[in-house]
Amino acid sequence: MTINKIKENDSLMIALEGRLDTLTAPKLDAEIQGALDGIKSLVFDFEKLAYISSAGLRILLAAQKIMNKQGTMVIRNAGPEIREIFDVTGFSDILTLE
C-alpha cells in the first residue's frame, strides 16, 4: 500500500493506494500517530484504494474518534466495493463519505 500525505496549515489529506488490510494497517497507523496534532480537517482520499479489511476499519474509527474532538474527517472517492464494506459494517453511519 502507498500512503501520500499532504499537509496545509491545519488540514491533512491522506491518499491511499492498494489494499488496507492486516498487513498494511500498522503502516497507516504509524503514519497517523502524531500527525493529527493540531489538525482541524482530515481527508482520506480512497480513489485508488482497492480493499479495506476490519484492521483498516479500526484505524479509521480511531482517527474519527480523535477528529471528533478537534475537527472534521471526510472520506472521499471511495469506490463501490469500499462503500459496500462501509454499508455492511455500519461505518457509513459513523463516517462522512463524499
Between 3.30.750.24, 2.40.100.10, 3.40.50.300, 3.55.40.20, what CATH number should domain 18-31+38-94 receive?
Answer: 3.30.750.24
Each residue of 47-82: pLDDT tens digit?
A: 999 999 999 999 999 999 999 999 999 999 999 999
> What average pLDDT does the structure give for the chain?
96
What pLDDT was estimated at residue 33? 87
Each residue of 14-56: pLDDT tens digit?
A: 999 999 999 999 999 999 988 999 999 999 999 999 999 999 9
What pLDDT was estimated at residue 34? 83
Distances in whole angstroms, Cα of residue 91 to Cα of each of 4, 11, 23, 35, 83: 23, 23, 21, 23, 9
Domain residue spans in the chain?
Answer: 18-31+38-94
pTM of this prediction? 0.95
Pairing of strands 41-52, 72-76: parallel
Amino acid at 46: F
What pLDDT was estimated at residue 60? 97
